[in-house]
């Protein structure tokens, strides 16, 4: 992992200590290939952002997602970047907005596997407040669409679509969303 442990500790001091969970998912060959390609330079993490505007959440859809599938934006911190810089860059690439980080909500450790192979992955989840609100993805090669959705829609039909997907990665995103909403409801 090339995230700097001191930077993670700094983020905990600034934005709170996250709940820590663990899960595991078995992947098929196609998804395994996508995961392995995402591990450039030893990457084994992502940062996921819950950007809320009142009772709406900003979500993205990648080009390969089926219609109706959306999730919170995420991406990797590059070597040499702070988590804050990586988060700001990813949010700008995927949604075209500026944000102010609020809470470090969840650190989810996941073990992805395919047959006897295993990859350890960590998702760092933050909440954020949008400083700008017009969603215009800059990385159109990766992101098909970004939009604001009512939380009820995300917690209902979108979450059900994620959790019933044949994709282990999308099922993971559905479980991650459900866990984040559970944590946030306890803090309210």
Question: Residue 48: which of 57, 40, 56, 39 has the closest Cα?
Answer: 57
**What's the Cα-to-Cα distance from 33 to each of 28, 39, 117, 169, rounded to whole Å?**
9, 10, 12, 12
pLDDT tens-digit map of 97-107: 999 999 999 99
pLDDT tens-digit map of 104-125: 999 999 999 999 999 999 999 9
pLDDT range class, residue 55, cuts 50, 70, 90: very high
What is the value of pTM for the model shown? 0.94
Q: Is the pLDDT of residue 188 over 80?
A: no
Share of the chain above pLDDT 90, in %: 78
Cβ–Cβ under 8 Å, residues 131 and 118: no
Distance CA 176, CA 88 (A): 21
Distance CA 18, CA 12 (A): 7
For 158, phi then psi, to 5°, come to -70, -45
What's the CATH code of the domain at 119? 3.90.79.10
The number of domains in the chain is: 1
Report the length, in residues, of the chain: 188
- Domain containing residue 21: 5-187
Q: What is the mean pLDDT of residues 57-81?
A: 93
pLDDT range class, residue 1, cuts 50, 70, 90: low
What DSSP letter does each residue of the chain carry, written as one string? --S-HHHHHHHHHHH-PPEEEEEEEE--HHHHHHHHHTTGGG--EEEEEEEEETTEEEEEEETTSPTT--B--EEPPPTT--HHHHHHHHHHHHH---EEEEEEEEEEEEEEEETTEEEEEEEEEEEEEESS-----S-TTTEEEEEEEEHHHIIIIIHHHHHT-S-HHHHHHHHHHHHHHHHHHHH-
pLDDT range class, residue 39, cuts 50, 70, 90: confident
Q: Is the pLDDT of residue 41 over 90?
A: no
Per-residue confidence (pLDDT) for residue 81, from 0 to 100: 93
């Amino acid at each position: 992992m090339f995230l700097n442990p001191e930077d993670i500790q700094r983020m905990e001091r600034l934005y709170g200590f996250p709940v820590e969970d663990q899960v595991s998912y078995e992947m098929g060959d196609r998804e395994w290939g996508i995961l392995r390609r995402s591990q450039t330079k030893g990457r084994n993490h992502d940062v996921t952002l819950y950007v809320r505007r009142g009772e709406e959440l900003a979500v993205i859809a990648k080009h390969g997602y089926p219609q109706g599938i959306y999730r919170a934006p995420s991406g990797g911190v590059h070597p040499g970047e702070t988590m804050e810089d990586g988060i700001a860059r990813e949010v700008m690439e995927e949604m075209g907005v500026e944000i102010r980080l609020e809470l470090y909500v969840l650190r989810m450790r996941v073990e992805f596997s395919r047959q006897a192979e295993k990859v350890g992955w960590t998702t760092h989840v933050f909440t954020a407040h949008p400083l700008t609100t017009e969603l215009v993805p800059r990385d159109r090669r990766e992101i098909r669409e970004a939009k604001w959705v009512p939380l009820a829609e995300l917690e209902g039909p979108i979450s059900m679509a994620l959790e019933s997907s044949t994709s282990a990665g999308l099922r993971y995103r559905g479980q991650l969303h459900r866990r984040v909403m559970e944590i946030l409801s306890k803090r309210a």
